[in-house]
């Protein structure tokens, strides 16, 4: 729609609003519909015209008018409420004087309330034969053309309210998101996990390798950080004796934006005392399979044209084994040789820093040559200690930790490990991270002295898990971009 035409339509609607104001309250707040469209279809959808007429039932609905067809003494309109759509059959002679004439001037997009009896038209469409009709809210802006909808993808993100009005697929994505979170809560609480809340503003950010957002508290005159993960606070609770805790949390990382990344995102993070990373893998597998069943009634789904089987046992393979599997020319005996790994990364035109050790180089090679090929659900285990500052080292092989990441559809969905509970080793790893930060690594961790103090009181052995809720919703709703599953993704200013 051209800007000039839109401005003309808005001006015309404002004129109508002025007329409503002149007649009294233009925005009434006493409308309480007793029925919803979906319930009416379920209750009356199979009844014929004679049965409907004989029932004498009287219903009331309210919703946005999505279509309107005016014909002399009678007209039709379609309204949409939270549950779906229902047609209104509007006749001049059944309404109070003047109401029908007013109705003819109402616009698509207006919110209306209607009462009447159930009726089936000559064409067989279930309708409400209206005997009372009110304009509840005047829409000042015209909706997009019903045949094209809101086709500009960025505009859909910016004006999510219009996208939700026009696009039932979008509404269904966010219904599914809510259902997923509800399932996760019920699933964990049935196993004895306690939901908790931890600080979003932290004096020392921790729990992940990421660049934080900073803010300032005026009264205390102190710099604070938006949390990058709740991990270190949740593990303090394990120290305190809350042995099964979880949080569905908003976290913030000052990083790039992509189809998989938004600076503000949602994670499910949990910790379980006297469990290890293998227990956590089993829990993760059950959680994701159960979520698919809850949303779709099946654990076999399609994602972006790829058939995925969440019903089968998820594959488990070490990071080093995955590299040799997908890169058969690589020498498996040199996967911890830094010079050899740099050569492999150079051949793949992959950047790395001079201070990367073999563990970090190995992880870069995995991300470059393996990650996107992991389509079916796969746990990659035994991540290098160098890139796992909070994970417990493997007893037999200190080069790696008892850690996994879960990949489905070529992207990471979850991260978990056996927790490091040795305060002296944790302090040493924090010091190593602090040295990296001093050398200019903005994503390296801070030294958290209070967390070390907590560990010194004794934390039982434990397993932990972080699941990216946004990515899991993407997977289970077949959404290509993280922006499709965030109601209000971060965008550049208009």
Domain residue ranges in the chain: 3-143, 166-327+370-485
Separation in Å, CA 226 to CA 93, 198, 210, 265: 62, 12, 11, 12
Whether 62 contacts 112, CB under 8 Å? yes
Q: Which two tokens stand for residue 187?
A: 């699933």
The C-alpha atoms of residue 69 and residue 88 are separated, in whole angstroms, by 10
Q: What confidence tens digit (pLDDT) does each residue in 383-441 have? A: 999 999 999 999 999 999 999 999 999 999 999 999 999 999 999 999 999 898 888 88
Give me the pLDDT at residue 169, please.
Answer: 94
- Residue 89 CB neighbours (<10 A): 20
Residues 45-79: tens digit of each pLDDT: 999 999 999 999 999 999 999 999 999 899 999 99
138 to 15, 48, 134, 174: CA distances (angstroms): 11, 35, 11, 26
Tell me the two tokens of residue 74.
């009678």
The confidence score (pLDDT) of residue 150 equals 61
pLDDT tens digits, 432-482: 998 988 888 888 889 999 999 999 999 999 999 999 999 999 999 999 999
d(CA 74, CA 79): 16
Structure tokens at 13: 């609607």
pLDDT at 66: 97
Stretches in the chain below the pLDDT threshold 70: 1, 146-151
CA of 146: how far to CAs of 151, 165, 285, in Å?
11, 11, 42
The DSSP string of 370-415 is TGGG--S-EEEE--BGGG-TTBPBPSS-TTBBSEEEEEETTEEEEE
pLDDT of residue 147: 46
Paired strand residues for 201: 226
61 HSE (CA, 13 A, CB side): 31
Joined together, the tokens standing for residue 288 give 């994701």
DSSP string, 313-329: PPEEEEHHHHHHHH-TT
Q: 469: exposed, middle or buried (C-beta count within 10 Å: 0-12, 13-18, 19+)?
A: buried
Please give the CATH superfamily to which domain 166-327+370-485 belongs: Bira Bifunctional Protein; Domain 2 (3.30.930.10)
Residue 43 contacts residue 170 (beta carbons within 8 Å)? no
Q: Are 173 and 51 in contact (CB under 8 A)?
A: no
Task: Beginning with the edge strand found earlier in the chain, give each strand of the sheet holding 244-252 in spatial order.
Answer: 194-195, 244-252, 264-273, 462-468, 411-418, 403-408, 378-381, 315-318
Calculate ∠ Cα 493-212-348, nearest 5°.
90
pTM: 0.92
Biggest CA-to-CA distance, the chain: 90
Q: Where are the alpha helices (DSSP H) in 417-459?
A: 423-438, 449-456
- Between CA 239 and CA 235 the distance in angstroms is 6
Q: What separation in angstroms does the CA of 36 have from each of 46, 80, 91, 313? A: 17, 9, 22, 42
* Helix ranges (DSSP H) in 133-217: 153-158, 160-166, 168-189
CATH architecture classification, 3-143: Beta Barrel (2.40)
Q: Do the Cβ atoms of 270 and 281 come closer than 8 Å?
A: no
Mean pLDDT score of the chain, rounded to an integer? Answer: 95
Cα angle, residue 370 at apex, residues 367 and 375 outer, rounded to 5°: 115
């Amino acid at each position: 729609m051209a800007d000039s035409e839109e401005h003309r339509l808005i001006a015309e609607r404002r004129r109508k609003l002025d007329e409503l104001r002149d007649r009294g309250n233009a925005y009434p707040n006493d409308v309480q519909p007793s029925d919803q469209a979906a319930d009416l279809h379920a209750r009356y959808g199979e009844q014929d015209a004679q049965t409907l007429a004989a029932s004498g039932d009287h219903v009331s609905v309210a919703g946005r008018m999505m279509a309107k067809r005016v014909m002399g003494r009678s007209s039709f309109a379609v309204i949409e409420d939270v549950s779906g759509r229902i047609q209104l059959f509007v006749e001049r002679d059944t309404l109070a004087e003047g109401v029908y004439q007013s109705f003819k001037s109402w616009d698509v997009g207006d919110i209306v309330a209607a009462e009447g009896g159930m009726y089936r038209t000559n064409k067989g469409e279930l309708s409400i034969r209206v005997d009372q009709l009110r304009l509840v809210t005047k829409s000042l802006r015209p909706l997009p053309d019903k045949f094209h909808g809101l086709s500009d993808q960025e505009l859909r993100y910016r004006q999510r309210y219009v996208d939700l009005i026009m696009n039932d697929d979008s509404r269904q994505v966010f219904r599914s998101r809510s259902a997923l979170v509800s399932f996760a809560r019920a699933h964990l609480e049935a196993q004895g996990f306690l939901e908790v809340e931890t600080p979003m503003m932290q004096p020392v950010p921790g729990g992940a390798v990421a660049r934080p957002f900073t803010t300032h508290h005026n009264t205390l005159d102190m710099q604070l950080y938006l949390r990058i993960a709740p991990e270190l606070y949740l593990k303090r609770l394990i120290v305190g004796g809350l042995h099964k805790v979880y949080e569905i949390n908003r976290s913030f990382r000052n990083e790039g934006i992509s189809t998989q990344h938004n600076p503000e995102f949602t994670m499910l993070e949990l910790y379980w005392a006297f469990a290890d990373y293998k227990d956590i893998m089993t829990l993760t597998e059950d959680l994701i399979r159960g979520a698919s069943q809850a949303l779709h009634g099946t654990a076999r789904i399609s994602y972006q044209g790829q058939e995925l089987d969440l019903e089968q046992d998820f594959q488990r393979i070490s990071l080093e084994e995955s590299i040799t599997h997908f890169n058969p020319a690589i020498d498996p005996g040199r996967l911890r040789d830094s010079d050899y790994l740099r050569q492999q990364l150079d051949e793949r035109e992959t950047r790395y820093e001079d201070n990367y050790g073999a563990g970090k180089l190995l992880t870069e090679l995995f991300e470059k040559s393996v990650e996107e090929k992991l389509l079916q659900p796969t746990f990659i285990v035994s991540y290098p200690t160098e890139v796992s500052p909070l994970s417990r080292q493997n007893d037999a092989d200190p080069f790696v930790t008892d850690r996994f990441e879960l990949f489905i559809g070529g992207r990471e969905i979850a991260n978990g490990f056996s927790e490091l509970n040795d305060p002296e080793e944790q302090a040493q790893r924090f010091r190593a991270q602090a040295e990296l930060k001093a050398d200019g690594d903005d994503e390296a961790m801070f030294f958290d002295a209070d967390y070390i103090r907590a560990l010194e009181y004794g934390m039982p052995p434990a397993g932990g898990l972080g699941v990216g809720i946004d990515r899991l919703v993407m997977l289970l709703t077949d959404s290509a971009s993280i922006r499709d599953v965030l109601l209000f993704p971060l965008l550049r200013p208009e």
